[in-house]
Amino acid sequence: MPPPCRSGQSLGKQSHCVRWVVNLDGLQPLRVIHNLNNPKTAAGWVTQHYGWWVVLYSLVIQAVSVGILIYSFTLFAVSWQDEFKASRRDVMMTISCLQIGMGVLGPLVGRALDLHPTRYVVIIGAFSLALGLSVAHQASQLWHLWLVYATLMPMAATMMGTLASQTLVARWFSHQRGLAMGLSAMGTNLGGMIFPLLIAGWLIDLGWRDTFLQLAGVGLLLVVPLTLLVLRREPPSNAAAPVPQSAAARLQTIDSDRIWSAREILQTSRFWLPFLALVPLNMTFGALQFNLAHFAKDAGLVEGAAAQFVTIGALCMLMGKLFFGTLGDRVDHRILFWIASAFMSAALLTLLFGHADFTLVLAVGFMGFAGGGILPLMGLIFGRLFGAASFGRVMGLVMLNVMLGALAPVAAGWVYDTTGDYDAAFWVLLVFIAQSMLAMLWLPKSSHHG
């Protein structure tokens, strides 16, 4: 018979104990208390490894939200331009409405993730996505899409996308956090490889309106049951404990248990320096990613080529996330930022000076690899500077970065409508990237955790 449990007892290496209760039949064992910290027990093994199930879950919800709302947007853009007789600038306003809405809602959703169970937030996001797609399929004018993409779609993107996923991972991991965040961020690319190819076929057979209805059903069926199943368990209390560091590193790293207010976050240069440095990367990624279908059309490529470009970009982003996520625990984050910026610059230069069809594929590859570093770098840099306890709130404010990046697709579309090409927009973005690379010299060097 296991020993009795004592109040406040730590089981140590002991596997379990018994809690007793007195009733009419005498002293009876009420229940066995298992040691969830002992890896030799089944319960302990599950506790120590459950974080990786959370990572797997985060892959799915990001694949659905980002795959549908971000990666597949360019496929719908050409259909909308033809149906509504709109300019490229006006069509790009749709995705800008989504990004601005994400920036506005991000701080609110981040706070909600810190205060309320994540499963409630994610489920609301899933129903927002389904409702938004259902309403958008009835749009008769382009501004109807703007309205949906400014309201319901940002709720879906923030509540069941990267913000929720990275907050979950930050709470479940202290050691190997960079690897976990890199693997989690791969979900966006899985969505970018699966949904564009699926949607390309549906667009041909069903048209964009019925495709939206199909996606609404798929999103609900994939996200809601899995959320109820996986997020029944809360992260362990020691998951956010800081990794042992040198004295010099501790001077650069904020206590992981500190609760930061929004005002404190916005008043420190620790937030604004990396925040502003990441804006040009986001702007460039948006200007290129959301115009891929137009690039393919301008090059005279066959219908369906855009979906293939999106898939190639997503595959390269997958490689980028593995690269940046794996090295994030070992290499100075500034160096990783400079690598991502160099590849993004290479994408712009390839589009500026390349003329053959294969150069478009090369540019998409450069863009994808660099874009794959954005999400892991955000999580790693801000997680190091502000800790896990306020991670949701900090990343919610970081979503304002997306709102600033929303200017790029519209500006690039306007440049094309005005001049007949994207060259001026690409040169401006190159200047912004160079400035951000220089600014990152002032970010404190990150320690190597090994």
CA separation (Å) from 229 to 49, 63, 225, 232?
A: 16, 18, 6, 6
Architecture label for domain 42-442 = Up-down Bundle (1.20)
Instruction: Report d(CA 14, CA 402) in Å as an integer.
Output: 49
Inter-residue contact 185 to 375 (CB < 8 Å): yes
Distance, CA of 308 to chain centre: 22
Question: For the chain, which residues make up each domain, given as ranges?
Answer: 1-35, 42-442
Rounded to a whole number of angstroms, the distance between the first and last alpha carbons of the chain is 43
Q: What is the DSSP string of 273-291?
A: HHHHHHHHHHHHHHHHHTT
- CB–CB of 449/243 below 8 Å? yes
**Secondary structure of residue 10 in the 3-state scheme:** coil
Question: Residue 318, Cβ neighbours under 10 Å: how many?
Answer: 21
Q: Give φ, ψ of 20 to 5 degrees.
A: -105, 155
Q: What is the largest CA-CA distance in the chain?
A: 89
Distance, CA of 222 to CA of 354 (rounded, Å): 41
pLDDT tens track, the chain, 450 positions: 555 544 344 444 444 544 444 444 444 444 444 444 444 544 444 555 788 899 999 999 999 999 999 889 988 998 999 999 999 999 999 999 998 998 888 889 888 888 888 899 999 999 999 999 999 999 999 999 999 999 999 999 999 988 888 888 888 877 777 778 778 878 888 888 899 889 988 998 999 999 999 999 999 999 999 999 998 887 776 554 444 444 444 434 445 567 888 889 999 988 999 999 999 999 999 899 888 888 888 888 766 778 888 889 889 988 988 888 788 878 899 999 999 999 999 999 999 998 767 888 999 999 999 998 887 888 888 888 887 677 778 887 887 787 778 889 999 999 999 999 999 999 999 999 999 999 999 988 876 544
pTM above 0.85, yes or no: no
